[in-house]
């Protein structure tokens, strides 16, 4: 019996539901903190694979349950527990392993319909990609990173033009551009900039008080 299963059977009240959600988040945050601390050790890749396997198993279990506000919140808590994960830029094997995990999360991002889960995944991607964007150089040409960016960019850009998604997805579009290949950046950045400026104009007009 897993820890979460035990908690679920024990805390069978509304208060217990809240505690379980908090426990899920705390469990994964602690797990990822420990993983980050040992990331530079020789066995860190093995630990990463163990954490990834556990995360994907828990996510799969939650996805197969009947969707409810509680299940949605549990998924979001699980996702946010991974915010301590950081992509290791070298050696290339670790870089590719990290991006493989990101790609699996990207598939879920593209499939999931729930707005809050999609926004949580977008926030997770931003947390992970900002340090990469600050350091990335030739890594933009590595196929796993290129595929990750290309798989997400068009859909994310399109969703960001919708009012209900714009605040959550604009940072992600920005990060994807920052870690993209030169040609993709040159071909796409002005489109995103125009979208941003259009939204600023709409916001400015909407905020003007009648004279």
- What pLDDT, in 10s, does the model give residues 137-189? 999 999 999 999 999 999 999 999 888 998 999 999 999 999 999 999 999 99
Q: Which of 133, 110, 127 is nearest to 179 (CA)?
A: 133
Q: What pLDDT does residue 44 have?
A: 63
Q: What pLDDT does residue 202 have?
A: 61
> Is the torsion defined by CA of 163, 164, 168, 174 positive or negative?
negative
pTM over 0.85: no
Domain ranges of the chain: 1-85, 87-205
């Amino acid at each position: 019996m897993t820890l979460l299963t035990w908690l679920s059977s024990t805390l069978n009240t509304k208060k217990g539901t809240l505690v379980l959600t908090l426990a899920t988040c705390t469990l994964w945050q602690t797990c990822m903190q420990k993983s980050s601390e040992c990331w530079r050790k020789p066995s860190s890749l093995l630990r990463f694979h163990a954490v990834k396997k556990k995360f994907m198993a828990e996510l799969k279990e939650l996805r197969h349950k009947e969707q409810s506000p509680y299940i949605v919140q549990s998924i979001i808590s699980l996702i946010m527990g991974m915010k301590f994960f950081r992509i290791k830029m070298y050696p290339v094997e670790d870089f590719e392993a990290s991006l493989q995990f990101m790609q699996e999360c990207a598939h879920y991002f593209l499939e999931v319909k729930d707005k809050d889960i999609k926004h949580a995944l977008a926030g997770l991607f931003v947390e992970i990609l900002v340090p990469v964007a600050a350091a990335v150089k030739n890594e933009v040409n590595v196929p796993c990173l290129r595929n990750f960016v290309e798989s997400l960019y068009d859909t994310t850009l399109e969703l960001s033009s919708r009012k209900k998604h714009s605040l959550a997805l604009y940072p992600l579009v920005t990060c994807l551009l920052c870690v993209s290949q030169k040609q993709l950046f040159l071909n796409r950045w002005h489109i995103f900039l125009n979208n941003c400026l259009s939204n600023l104009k709409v916001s400015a007009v909407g905020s003007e008080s009648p004279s």
